[in-house]
Structure 1
Amino acid sequence: MTANALPPVVDADTWQHELDALRAREKAATRELDAIAAQRRRLPMVRMPDYTLEGADGPVRLADVFGDRRQLIVYNHMWSEGKEWQCSGCTGFTSQFTRLEFLQAYDARFVIVTQGPIDEALAYKRRVGNRMDWYSTANSPFGTDTGAPPGGGYAVNVFLRDGDAVYRTWHTDGRGTEQLSHSFPLIDLLPYGRQEEWQDSPEGWPQSPTFSGWSTSKEIAALYGTDAPEA
């Protein structure tokens, strides 16, 4: 960061004028997101096979992962066989979701699935202090069929249950997951933003390699996991 890495200082009227111009774009983006959500609600769906996953209490049918809910959001957590610390992006992203009870009012659940064996997955969940419910797809083609094969990336999928029939209604991966996060929207409000090299920032703004500001899985575990100090 240079000594001159500061926004220009202006009078209050000029600042308000610039903010109003930005606000017009922000409101337009909000209306576009509303329109995208409306289109999402009109997507067709595809029926899924009767998958069996592994949960904390043993094998469980995909239809039963819903519990008594009709809607299900699934985060496909990346998994690298034999690694003590799994994907830091997945670990950090899912560490945000500590209070999911509000989904009950919307007839929905949000869970994690991963290609790791269930015992290893649950041990990792405890190690990093994750609060979500985890399931393993190690013995099921579910991960491959939903965009997250063994050795592959992460994904978000949404499902709707009608009786015992389960339908896939939506999918995203990559930066499509950002809309589910609260961390990036908060960081993007800051004058210096994410401070990553790919971002369009004024000359002299602090910038570092992409991902360099992200917490590692080990750091997340030190904050929230089984060995973290008590609050």
Structure 2
Amino acid sequence: MATSALPPVVDTDTWQRQLDELRAREKAATRELDAIAAQRRRLPMVEMPDYTLEGEDGPVRLADVFGDASQLIVYNHMWFPGQEWQCGGCTGFTSQFTRLEVLGNYDARFVVVTQGPIDEALAYKKRVGNAMTWYSTANSPFGDDVGAPLDGGFAVNVFLRDGDTVYRTWHTTGRGTEQLSHTFALIDLLPYGRQEVWQDSPEGWPQGPTYSRWGGSEDIAALYGPARVG
């Protein structure tokens, strides 16, 4: 959306002084995130049942979803039965992850788990050009047990495996998932930010309804799916 609103123009010294003031807050936030991560590493954990999920090659125990790793990040993708296009937010979020092999250096893996039947889930994955490994929990209580029920509910869960025993170590949902996303981090650097009405922006800044600039699942498929141009 075009706008005539612009930040004030100042001399370089004034700009640098105000940038330095902001930088002090940014560094304080970085140190707080470090402290939060340290507390997260000290969380206790909960032993999980021996769930069986469905993968591309058939049934697979949760312990085997880890592959050779001992740590596992699971994104629980929302699923609505009978719908051709699933949650746009989940579809856009998971489309960002195309270079996950680096996690192997940290003894970890990142996968998608959804409540949709595995055949439908894999067809959807292909339709939207998703690069991650998908599993289905349609025949297991796993999704319900980790805060991602059918017909609504997305989440991030982290697990630790010790031999064949799996433990749940962390969970978040809602805006807690933003820390895994590079999209919002980039957008929040822009002068106009996310341009959503809930944000604290200067008078005259372009703003619209929340989610109005988010791409839908069909948009993601057009950009990254097998029918994309280019």
TM class, shorter-length: over 0.9
Q: Separation in 2 of the partners of 1:38 and 1:150?
A: 33
SS in 1 for 2:111: strand
Write the mapping of 1:12-161 to structure 2, written as runs, cut at 5 A. 12-161=12-161
Is the contact made by 1:70 and 1:162 (CA closer than 8 Å) also made in structure 2?
Answer: yes
Cα gap change, 1:3/1:92 in structure 2, threshold over 3 Å: closer, same or farther? closer
Q: Separation in 2 of the partners of 1:227 and 1:84?
A: 16
Aligned to 2:185: 185
Unaligned runs of 5+ in 2: none
Instruction: Tell me the TM-score normalized by structure 2.
Output: 0.98
The answer to whether the aligner puts 1:11 opposite 2:8 as a matched pair is no
| 1:111 counterpart letter in structure 2 | V
1:89-126 Cα offsets, whole Å, 9 max, x none, are: 00000000000000000000000000000000000000
| 1:82 counterpart letter in structure 2 | G
| 2:219 counterpart letter in structure 1 | E
Is the contact made by 1:54 and 1:118 (CA closer than 8 Å) also made in structure 2?
Answer: yes
Cα gap change, 1:165/1:98 in structure 2, threshold over 3 Å: closer, same or farther? same
Query: Residue 4 of structure 1: CA displacement?
Result: 4.2
- How many residues align? The count is 230
SS in 2 for 1:189: coil
Most deviating of 171-180 and 217-226: 217-226
Query: Residue 30 of structure 1: CA displacement?
Result: 0.1
Is the contact made by 1:2 and 1:204 (CA closer than 8 Å) also made in structure 2?
Answer: no
SS in 1 for 2:226: coil
Q: Separation in 1 of the partners of 2:50 and 2:59?
A: 12
Is the contact made by 1:178 and 1:184 (CA closer than 8 Å) also made in structure 2?
Answer: yes
Is the contact made by 2:79 and 2:151 (CA closer than 8 Å) also made in structure 1?
Answer: yes
Q: What percentage of aligned pairs have identical amino acids?
A: 81
The answer to whether the aligner puts 1:228 opposite 2:214 as a matched pair is no
Aligned to 1:197: 197
| 1:69 counterpart letter in structure 2 | A
| 2:49 counterpart letter in structure 1 | P
Instruction: Tell me the TM-score normalized by structure 1.
Output: 0.98
Q: Separation in 1 of the partners of 2:189 and 2:155?
A: 26
1:170-197 Cα offsets, whole Å, 9 max, x none, are: 0000000000000000000000000001
Query: Residue 152 of structure 1: CA displacement?
Result: 2.3
Is the contact made by 2:52 and 2:59 (CA closer than 8 Å) also made in structure 1?
Answer: yes
Is the contact made by 1:78 and 1:115 (CA closer than 8 Å) also made in structure 2?
Answer: yes
Q: Separation in 2 of the partners of 1:165 and 1:113?
A: 19
| 2:87 counterpart letter in structure 1 | C
Is the contact made by 2:80 and 2:151 (CA closer than 8 Å) also made in structure 1?
Answer: yes
The alignment yields a C-alpha RMSD, in angstroms, of: 0.9
1:37-68 Cα offsets, whole Å, 9 max, x none, are: 00000000000000000000000000000001
Aligned to 2:216: 216
Query: Residue 75 of structure 1: CA displacement?
Result: 0.1
| Segments of 4+ moved more than 2 angstroms | 1-4
1:153-212 Cα offsets, whole Å, 9 max, x none, are: 100000000000000000000000000000000000000000001000000000010001
